[in-house]
Structure 1
Amino acid sequence: MMRYILAGILVVMAAAIGFVTLQWYQVRYGGQAYGAPFTLVDQTGAPITEAAFRGHPTALFFGFTNCPEVCPTTLYELDGWLKQIGDQGKDIHAYFITIDPERDTVGVLKNYVSNVSERIVGITGDADKVGEMAKNFGIYFKKVETEGGGYTMDHTASVLLLNRKGEFAGTIAYGESPEAAVAKLKRLAAEG
């Protein structure tokens, strides 16, 4: 009897895993724009919505300006990869979306991003709206208290790639080889 109960539990678990996997696949490859509608502001204070991620390939990185290593490294590398592919990647738009809008105001974000790249645009806004946008794009983030009353942010460290329709087209993982990253950006740029 116990064997049948265990077998039943395994069947239910397998079905649940299959259903979740199917949902994940449909979201990412179902021909629908990735994420959800949002209204935030760019680094100049101008409104920006999900429409900015349509009509051209897009690279998105979620991070924060007080990040000690991952964020500045990723922005620097992304800028370098875009320069490396030159005219082939001229249509790729790149964005740095803060997951720490409490500290990353428009002015802070503009200074931070413009010191690294002319190609990457910063995005910030109301903390609740930024959080909702990040979650809708599948980004993990969490405020982590530090000694002395400060905090840092734990977050997903991959660059998201979207095609011209705003559909999920892959990621560039933190620490991925420059050759692989450049190949992915070239492939993204070449998609019709």
Structure 2
Amino acid sequence: MRRRKLILGGAGLLGAFGFTLGIGAWRSGDLQRLAENRGAEGSPANLSRMEWQLTDDRGIPVGPEDWLGQASMVFFGFTWCPDVCPTTLMDIADWLEGLGSDADQMLVTMITVDPERDTPEVLAEYLENFDPRIRGLTGTTDAVAKAAEAFGVTYTRLPRDDGDYTMNHTSGVFVFRPSGELASVIDFHEERRFAVPKIRRAIG
């Protein structure tokens, strides 16, 4: 817990200075595909056409069908991410605040790309640092891979010199309409003032 708080504190300082991206956080080579958001079958991601099953930070099974009927935001990350993930989660918390009462119409989820370490309990502890409306999803290695493929997200495990590892992954926030159609992708480098209007359009 202490280490995570230190990471979050460092991320805040980095963000204030327009930080340089660290290892294992964001794949710039995936930017175009993320912007187009092509799923596994080459068509724009649509929750109503996805088939995956994960477990949330409370131990409850969740599938894409559970999100239909309500606008949603989805972000892929991991709890030991040094910069992009905590910064994005803090941004999401700010967006929810900016939405006011409309935020209650949103489902917000981080799907881990590091299921080996990110158990439901670990996700629950980590997400306590952010807005309580943000849930976490994890599962088996195969289950997470299937979900990532459906969104068109890629990730890679990178060994570190100290014997540990980090994760290199596509970053961006997917915004879906209540119908399950993709409304937009908020890119990590996008000006944050555009985020809330995009989310409001998805809510409708």
What is the TM-score of this pair, normalised by structure 1? 0.81
1:178 pairs with 2:192: yes
The equivalent residue for 1:10 is none
1:115 pairs with 2:129: yes
1:91 pairs with 2:105: yes
Residue 80 of structure 1 and its aligned partner are, at CA, apart by 0.8
1:28 pairs with 2:44: yes
CA distance in 2, matches of 1:108, 1:26: 34
Residue 156 of structure 1 and its aligned partner are, at CA, apart by 0.9
Residue 56 of structure 1 and its aligned partner are, at CA, apart by 0.7
Contact kept, 8 Å, 1:110 with 1:122, in 2: the verdict is yes
Residue 52 of structure 1 and its aligned partner are, at CA, apart by 2.3
Give the number of the structure whose alpha-carbon radius of gyration is greater.
Answer: 1
The one-letter code of the counterpart of 2:141 is A
The equivalent residue for 1:39 is 53
The one-letter code of the counterpart of 1:175 is H
Identity %: 35
CA distance in 2, matches of 1:171, 1:138: 12
Secondary structure at the counterpart of residue 188 of structure 1: helix
Task: Render the CA deviation track for 1:50-74: whole Å, top value 9, x for unaligned.
Answer: 1222101110000000000000000
- Counterpart of 1:74 (choices 76, 88, 105) is 88
Q: CA RMSD in A?
A: 2.0
CA distance in 2, matches of 1:33, 1:98: 18
Runs of at least 4 residues off by over 3 Å:
23-26, 32-35
- Counterpart of 1:134 (choices 141, 148, 153) is 148
Residue 33 of structure 1 and its aligned partner are, at CA, apart by 3.5
Secondary structure at the counterpart of residue 105 of structure 2: coil
CA distance in 2, matches of 1:162, 1:71: 20
Please state which structure has a larger fraction of its residues in helix.
Answer: 1
Task: Render the CA deviation track for 1:83-119: whole Å, top value 9, x for unaligned.
Answer: 1111133211100000000000111000111221111
CA distance in 2, matches of 1:62, 1:155: 8
Unaligned runs of 5+ in 1: 1-20
CA distance in 2, matches of 1:26, 1:101: 26
The one-letter code of the counterpart of 1:59 is M
